[in-house]
A = this chain, B = another copy of it.
């Protein structure tokens, strides 16, 4: 993704300075935070927040705490999700619960969420209550979505609509809140901050659909996660739910038996499920779905004119074909 360098650099510097200012003791609490935040991320959410603020000619300095808060919160969710999802790798490095241990990942994650709130509390006072409320609402949605995601692993029947409900919470809520908070802090009208929120939500949806694709079809060196991790965990991704809809006869039987097998070698499971995905061409359907979210995102902000909206729209179209 070709993110405007100036924004990326601003965010990188903020994160660096945040990490430097972190207390060092107890090390088990703060080192994992630094570790997570120093991984090369896209920093997409804070950048979107800043661009949203700039859309309404807002100043960037007062928005920095909120931008940092969304990135730190996002990073906290990764730390805890890696525990629950049993994920060994994150951006090509061992996950916190592997590098340290589960108890440390749990507690350091808790502290990291609090650090996100600590940043958020630096928001200019006239906006604090509204921003705090948007943030809390988002944070709960993210947890609800993650819980649904976990529940779906053991549920046989998950429809495309169930799946979309889940990712709207798990992933899109944070994108939506980032864009909305940027707009609020930039001084947007209630109508415009709602448009930006809708823009963010649609970005989030297509982002997650692409994430599902990358988990299976991405290159591990680039994506930095175990290839096929979702397949191993029986995650009800768009690909799997769609494939269960599309596959017939022998293919469907095989797919179901792969999902229920407790003895199959993980790498074999990934290979054979992927083969079925290719046979029924789930990718085509994913891409069509993403196209729909792309159009909805662009439509949401059609009434707002600014150079940043152009940058944002360009970003979204890049997200559709991102490789990391």
Contact = CB atoms under 8 A, between A and B. Distances in A.
Interface of A: 25-26, 28-29, 80, 83-84, 103-104, 106-111, 113-115, 117-118, 121, 125, 128-129, 132-133, 136-137, 139-140, 143-144, 146-148, 150-151
Contact of A147 (B28, B113, B121): B28
Contact of A117 (B111, B115, B136): B136
A214 to B, nearest CB: 24
A282 to B, nearest CB: 26
Nearest to A136: B118
Given A107-B150, A117-B139, 17 more contacts: A26-B144, A26-B147, A28-B150, A29-B147, A80-B107, A84-B107, A103-B150, A104-B147, A107-B143, A107-B146, A108-B147, A110-B110, A111-B140, A114-B136, A117-B117, A121-B136, A128-B132
Considering the complex of A and B, which 9 residue pairs feature the smallest CB-CB distances, nearest first?
A111-B143, A84-B103, A26-B147, A118-B136, A114-B139, A29-B147, A121-B132, A114-B140, A28-B147
A73 to B, nearest CB: 10
Contacts of A144: 25-26, 29, 111
Copies in the complex: 2
B140 A115 contact: yes
A84 B104 CA distance: 9
Grouping DSSP codes into helix (H, G, I), strand (E, B) and loop, the A interface class, with mixed when no group exceeds half, is helix
Contacts of A109: 110
A51 B202 CA distance: 48
A28 B148 CA distance: 9
Q: Kindly name the residue among A106, A109, A110 whose own CB sees the greatest number of chain B CB atoms within 10 A.
A: A110
A25 B106 CA distance: 23
A111 to B, nearest CB: 4
A87 B9 CA distance: 46
A129 B140 contact: no
28 contacts: A25-B144, A26-B151, A28-B150, A29-B144, A29-B147, A80-B106, A80-B107, A80-B110, A83-B103, A84-B103, A84-B106, A104-B150, A107-B147, A107-B150, A109-B110, A110-B110, A111-B144, A113-B114, A114-B136, A114-B139, A114-B140, A117-B132, A118-B140, A121-B136, A125-B129, A128-B128, A128-B132, A132-B132
Contacts of A106: 80, 83-84, 106
A147 B148 CA distance: 30
Contacts of A83: 103, 106
Contacts of A118: 136-137, 140
Contact of A129 (B111, B128, B136, B148): B128
B111 A113 contact: no
Contact of A121 (B111, B133, B148): B133
Contacts of A111: 140, 143-144, 147
Nearest to A121: B132
A166 B23 CA distance: 16
